[in-house]
Structure 1
Amino acid sequence: MNKSELVASIAEKSELSKKDAEKALNGFLDSVQEALASGEKVQLVGFGTFEVRERKAREGRNPRNPEEVIKIPASLAPVFRSGKALKEAVNKK
């Protein structure tokens, strides 16, 4: 499912226009992005949790030249952990 299909599904289920559903989705995405950027965790009970985790610096190898070692710097990565209700809904089938 891509973004336009998700907007159409939200519009249908919530009886909103596609324009309003897209505004709502964009607002949600912007809010989650801002919260994660400021170091907060976003918890949606039953659905899941969005959070930021730190990745340590490490060494990697270039697959074209295995002898060449590349230093990969430390970084922050967004992570999603699914909640119990979402896991159960997915495993229902």
Structure 2
Amino acid sequence: MSNNLTKRHIVQKIYENSNYNHDDVRSIVQNTLDIMQQALANGQNIELRKFGVFELQVRKSRVGRNPNKPETDVMIPRRAVVKFKAGKEMKEGLDKLNLDKLDPSS
């Protein structure tokens, strides 16, 4: 089983720690994500205090290579990407992370 946190897990945790019914929590979480997605699609950055910033950046167009046909150049167009910058509190939490437990192959 994956060690990732999913939207389903978030809904379940909020449900367990609140007096809201499950459907209301699921709706609130989905509405929050929809608002965030729409803001990014409209060119807005998202700043969540004590968490971090979702920031839009534009990647320049560039020439790439097809690994199956390395002799052929492929033009990769300019595009918008979302970058996440962790906030101070998140950085402090990441500094305390046990890296050996996270990636035992290192």
- Structure 2 length normalisation: TM-score? 0.79
> What's the % identity of the aligned pairs?
38
Aligned pair 1:35/2:39, yes or no? Answer: yes
List 4+ stretches of structure 1 deviating above 6 A: none
* Equivalence for 2:23: 19
Q: Distance in 1 between matches of 2:17 and 2:61?
A: 44
CA-CA distance at 1:69 after TM superposition: 0.8
Q: Which amino acid aligns with 1:21?
A: V
Corresponding letter in the other structure for 1:74: R
Alignment partner, residue 82 of structure 2: 78
- Consecutive unaligned residues of structure 2, counting only runs of 5 or more, are 98-106
User: Whose RCO is larger (CA < 8 A, sep 6+)?
Assistant: 1
Equivalent runs, 1:59-74 vs 2, <5 Å = 59-74=63-78
Question: Structure 1: where are the runs of 5+ without partners?
Answer: none
User: What is the CA distance between 1:87 and its match in structure 2?
Assistant: 1.5
Separation (CA, whole Å) in 1 of partners of 2:86 and 2:55:
11
d(CA) in 2 for partners of 1:87 and 1:18? 31
In the alignment, what sits opposite 2:104? none
Return the structure number with greater strand share.
Answer: 1
Partner of 1:88: 92
Between 13-22 and 35-44, the greater mean CA deviation after superposition: 13-22
CA distance in 2 between partners of 1:91 and 1:21 (Å): 31
CA distance in 2, matches of 1:18, 1:83: 30
Q: What is the letter of the counterpart of residue 6 of structure 1?
A: I
- TM normalised by structure 1 equals 0.88
Q: How big is the shift at 1:90?
A: 2.8
Helix, strand or coil at the partner of 2:29? helix
C-alpha RMSD of matched pairs (Å): 1.4
Structure 1 position 49 matched with structure 2 position 53: yes
Structure 1 CA distance, aligned partners of 2:18 and 2:84? 25
